[in-house]
Amino acid sequence: MKYLRPTDGVSLNRNHLLRHAKARALGMAAAGYRPPRPPMLRAAGYDAAKTIAVRAWGLREGNYATDYDVVVAKKVATIMCGGSVAAGAEVSEQHFLDLEREAFLSLCGEEKTQARMQSILMTNKPLRN
């Protein structure tokens, strides 16, 4: 199935798995292994996030989305566009993950998000609040 690369090791005895892994890690450290640099990604930027927010507002004005849909859309736009950075700025993947965690935790504290989650768990249908 080609799951393994030629550099991957195989340990057939589960009792020796930890010992083999430790020996390999120590060997890599002795050979001077350094982890690869985290990838840098270009962010769409603050202006793109505001453009998406205006589009979400337009959907709300056309009664295609609720007020809370707009709140969630703004959070998603901020995440996808890299937050408050200039267009084309290079940011790390961790920056995007931090934005996602912050938005997720802030939305989890909202009563309407909790109602939506409960609705999906109970009825398998999203709640439009």
Rounded CA separation 8/16 (Å) = 16
Q: Number of structural domains, the chain? A: 1
Does some domain include residue 129?
A: no
Question: CA angle, 26 as apex, 21 and 31 as ends, to 5°?
Answer: 125
Note the pLDDT of residue 5: 87
113 pLDDT more than 90: yes
Does some domain include residue 28?
A: no
Helix (H, G, I), strand (E, B) or coil at 74: helix
Average pLDDT (53-70) is 96
What single-letter amino acid sits at 123? Answer: T
Does some domain include residue 70?
A: yes
| Domain limits for position 49 | 40-123
Note the pLDDT of residue 9: 84
Does some domain include residue 14?
A: no
Does some domain include residue 27?
A: no
Does some domain include residue 108?
A: yes
Rounded to two decimals, the pTM is 0.75
Mean pLDDT of the chain: 94
CA 25 to chain centre: 28
